[in-house]
Structure formats: C-alpha cells, structure tokens
Amino acid sequence: MPARKIFQSDKLTEQLVNGMTSKCARGASISEVVRKAIRDEYTPLCEHLKYHTLNLFTMLENDEDITDDVLKGICMNIMYSLKDTPLSDKYLIKRLMEPFINPNPMEQHYGYPAAVDILQDGYLKRLDEILWSLDHGYPLGARKLSERCFLVYSKWHDLYRYSEVYPCLATIIECETIYHDIDVYWLIRLIKDIDISIILERTEPISGIFPTDISLEDKCNALIYTITHYYSAKGYAYFKGDTALLEIPPELNEYFTYTESLTPAADSVSDEYYRSLLEAERQGWVIFSKLALTSKK
C-alpha cells in the first residue's frame, strides 16, 4: 500500500526546502524540517504551558496509556497556573471547563462532603462570595460545583485579572466528574490556543483579593442554609439509603435537634452567633463525612 502523502508544497516552500536541505547549505533533511515544524506548531512558548505539552509528547512517543484522569489533572494544573498569566478570553476558559460541567445543573449536591475536602471547600466558598458580590441573586450557601461556572462565564470580564479566581476554578475541575469525552489531541490544541492568547494579551494579574460586600448577616444566612438544607435528613438519606429514616445514629439526631434552634431573631446576628454557626457547620461536615465513608451510594 503506497505511503499517504501528507504534505503539499507550494513554490516558496519548495524553494526553501530544496535550499535549506541541500548538501551545500549543510542543512537538515526534509524529514527533520517537517518534524520540527509540526512539533513547533503545537508547542507553547509560555513555559508553564510548554511543560505540560512536552510531557504529553513524551507519553505519546512512549505509547503510554494517557487516561482521562491524567488529562483531568493536566487541565486542573493549567487552570491553576493561569493565576500568573490571566486569560481574558472566556471562550477558552469554557473550553477548558467544558468536560467537567454537570449536564444536570439542578442536581442537589447532598454528596458534597464525599466529593470535597476542607481545603477545597475553602476555595469554593471564596468563589461563592465573589460571585454573590457580582450578582446578589446567586444562592450563597448552596452547595454547587460546576454549576457555578455559568455565572463565572457571564462575569468573566470582571473576574479574569484576579489571581485568586483561577485556583477556585481549578478546584472545581479537581472535584467534578468528567461528563464529556476528552482526548490528548483536544488538550494539546487547547493548550496551544491558550498560549497564543496569553502572548497576545500579556495581562498583568491582580494579586490582591476580589472586593466583596458580604455582610455578617449574609454570611450567617448562608451558613444556616447550608446546615439546614444539606446537613439534614435528606442529606442523611442520600448517604445511607435510609429513606424511611429508621437507622439515624444518635449523634445525628442530637445534631438535628441542635440545628433546629439556629435561626436567629433579626437583632441577634453577632460575631459570636456567626462563630457558633461555623462550629455547627464544622460538626455537620465531620458527621456527614463519616457517613460518606460508609455510604451505600
């Protein structure tokens, strides 16, 4: 079977190839020229992106198994690295996030403690504070993962220069499931497109925190929503499959009794009350994390 012709030259490229690869010019072979041109086409100039692409090249050359988890990890690391080289193009951000966007955005995340650890929760709560400051209709206190991204895209012009936003988005990738097909060639192309955009823009990052306007009362209401909605009988039923609530452990019954008294009067919001809510949330996290370890789902 004849070899497939993959390169069609024009007059100038023919002249350059013949001239630069001739013996008298002591040039490279045409195969070397073409190989280098193809590699260079997909190799980023930004060092933090180049590192990932060269690793993928090596894995391809060695016929290594490039799993979805490997690709997911690279996506997460790339998003995190953008904190030093902001990306204003929201469509490139969408392409990077797209495989990890839940197709069922109304899903209730009663399984949140099983998917997210304390450190990750801190990043996601911070993103919630930022998004709420941009849109007070955002449900502060709701346990969301990739659903946050729809508001992120619409507000990207206000967000992209702030370094602290990118680790928050990287955390979403880390915690979410892969919902859409990804492959190594999709990622190589995307990394190069991101590289081009960064080089053309050369935007300086804002290392300070994003300005928010959340009051103490807002923070308290958010914690009450989290505690009463997720650390609840519904959350318990999700973890244990005990829909009839027949096997609730004593410590959880005690917790439910305690949290029923958390809703304050309008004039009782204070730093002390806020700290008590933080402690109640922490207790709920511990209890439900233990339940997650023995979950039937």
Mean pLDDT by 10 residues, the chain (297 residues): 63 80 63 84 96 97 96 98 96 97 74 84 94 93 89 97 97 95 96 97 91 92 89 82 83 88 72 92 89 64
* The total number of structural domains that make up the chain: 2
pLDDT given for residue 6 in this prediction: 67
Whether 244 and 192 map to the same domain: the answer is no
Single-letter amino acid code for the residue at 34:
V
Single-letter amino acid code for the residue at 129:
E
Task: Please tell me the distance from the alpha carbon of residue 250 to that of residue 255, in angstroms, as a whole number.
Answer: 9
Whether 81 and 137 map to the same domain: the answer is yes
Whether 243 and 277 map to the same domain: the answer is yes
Whether 185 and 85 map to the same domain: the answer is yes
Asked if residues 71 and 183 have their Cβ atoms less than 8 Å apart, the reply is yes
Assigned domain for 39 exists: no
pLDDT given for residue 56 in this prediction: 97
Whether 123 and 242 map to the same domain: the answer is no
Whether 144 and 186 map to the same domain: the answer is yes
Whether 171 and 65 map to the same domain: the answer is yes
- Token couple for 296: 């039937």
pLDDT given for residue 19 in this prediction: 79
Listed residues 170, 201, 232: the one ending a domain: 201
Assigned domain for 241 exists: yes
Q: Residue 157 is part of which domain span? A: 47-201
Whether 77 and 121 map to the same domain: the answer is yes
Residues 6+ apart with CB under 8 A from 91: none
Assigned domain for 158 exists: yes
Angle (CA) 146-151-152 rounded to 5° is 75
Whether 61 and 186 map to the same domain: the answer is yes
Assigned domain for 153 exists: yes
Assigned domain for 233 exists: yes
Whether 134 and 229 map to the same domain: the answer is no
Assigned domain for 34 exists: no
